[in-house]
């Protein structure tokens, strides 16, 4: 039988190392999807030190997050808005510029029987432009014609009634009505698409025919008229188009969902065409009025904002700002009292925030119906 040698007793140095190892704290364990693994090469004793480090990290990260939030939500948008003028260059360069002067052609204005459209007609007549005006209300339109003729006897003015909400209205006007007008009416150098309609109420409560008619009058007819009359402007290498939008062009409008969408369309197509035609001698401008004193709203549908005197602008100064923006060859102009300061603030705030904020703000000013 073989004798098995006994193990030598542990040395004193080994016992000391074992005692220190047992007294050492366990390494931090990090939870992962496959289990727990030791934190590599890092042993931190739990206690006040960890809490202090956590608080310090939190205090350091909070200002960083705050700065990021301010930059993302406010600083960058403000700088972008301030420097937007760099990208919003005039549509015409020095060689392509062709100023539209009285005598170069007439101005064709839709919806000129009242409100902003009527004031635009008076403004252009005061500038010396001959006018062709149209509206659905023949009585009011003829009255405006007589008023312009009496106030500006040197100006030629021609009125005809037309239902621009009808299908193919633009084709009917261009191909069937204009050929019957005097020769001086054939050279249209300024086109103003002012005719429009809006219905107040939740989308599901507005009759389908009214919704379709709104899109036809507010969008389809202006697009058709621009397509037709731009042919002559391109041939003459001069011309201006003014499309009447709204400050609702920038934000969705509860209780006026379709109306706001049609105005957003006009702003979008105007800005795109403004850029497309920038070297042709032709400009396209979208006018975006705020609350304006017109007969557009029914008494029971008048927005809350229209009841605040400082926000409500009269039609004449609004029209003047629209025309000035057109002659300045701007892609769009926001009108309003004090140079449109409040309305431009609304536009800026709406662009800086989410759609929910825009809906909430418009809901506050336009009184969204409680029941759908």
Provide the token pair at 214: 């709104």
Spatial CB neighbours of 106, under 8 Å, sequence gap ≥ 6: 129, 130, 131, 132, 156, 184, 185, 187, 188, 189, 190
Catalytic residue among 199, 200, 259, 332: 259
Unique residue bearing structure tokens 């389908």 = 208
Report whether 108 contacts 188 (CB < 8 A): yes
Catalytic residue among 118, 199, 200, 263: 263
Decide: residue 281, CB within 10 A, 0-12 exposed, 13-18 middle, 19+ buried: buried
- Residue 185 Cα to chain centre, angstroms: 34
Q: Is 259 a residue of the active site? A: yes
Provide the token pair at 68: 């990021």
Sign of the CA dihedral 339, 343, 346, 347? negative
Catalytic (active-site) positions = 259, 263
């Amino acid at each position: 039988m073989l004798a098995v040698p006994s193990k030598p007793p542990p040395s004193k140095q080994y016992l000391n190392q074992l005692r220190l190892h047992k007294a050492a704290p366990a390494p931090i364990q990090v939870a992962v999807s496959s289990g727990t693994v030791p934190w590599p090469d890092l042993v931190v004793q739990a206690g006040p030190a960890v809490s202090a480090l956590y608080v310090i990290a939190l205090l350091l990260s909070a200002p960083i997050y705050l700065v990021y939030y301010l930059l993302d939500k406010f600083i960058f948008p403000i700088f972008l808005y301030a420097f937007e003028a760099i990208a919003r260059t005039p549509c015409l360069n020095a060689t392509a510029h062709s100023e539209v002067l009285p005598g170069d052609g007439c101005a064709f204005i839709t919806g000129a029987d009242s409100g902003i459209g009527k004031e635009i007609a008076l403004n252009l007549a005061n500038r010396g432009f001959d006018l062709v005006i149209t509206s659905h209300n023949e009585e009011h339109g003829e009255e405006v014609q007589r008023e312009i003729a009496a106030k500006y006897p040197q100006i030629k003015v021609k009125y005809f009634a037309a239902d621009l909400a009808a299908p193919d209205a633009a084709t009917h006007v261009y191909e069937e009505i204009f050929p019957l007008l005097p020769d001086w009416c054939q050279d249209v150098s300024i086109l103003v698409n002012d005719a429009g309609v809006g219905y107040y109420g939740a989308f599901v409560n507005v009759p389908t025919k009214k919704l379709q008619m709104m899109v036809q009058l507010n969008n389809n007819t202006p697009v058709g008229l621009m397509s037709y009359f731009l042919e002559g402007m391109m041939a003459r290498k001069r011309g201006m188009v003014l499309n009447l939008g709204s400050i609702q062009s920038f934000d969705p409008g509860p209780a006026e969902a379709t109306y706001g969408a049609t105005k957003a369309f006009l702003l979008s197509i105007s800005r795109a065409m403004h850029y497309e035609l920038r070297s042709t001698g032709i400009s396209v401008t979208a006018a975006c009025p705020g609350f304006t004193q017109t007969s557009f709203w029914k008494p029971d549908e008048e927005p809350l904002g229209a009841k605040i005197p400082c926000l409500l602008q009269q039609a004449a100064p609004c029209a003047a700002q629209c025309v000035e923006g057109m002659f300045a060859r701007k892609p769009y102009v926001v009108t309003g009292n004090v140079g449109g300061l409040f309305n431009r603030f609304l536009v800026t705030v709406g662009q800086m925030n989410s759609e929910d904020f825009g809906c909430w703000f418009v809901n506050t000013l336009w009184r969204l119906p409680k029941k759908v």
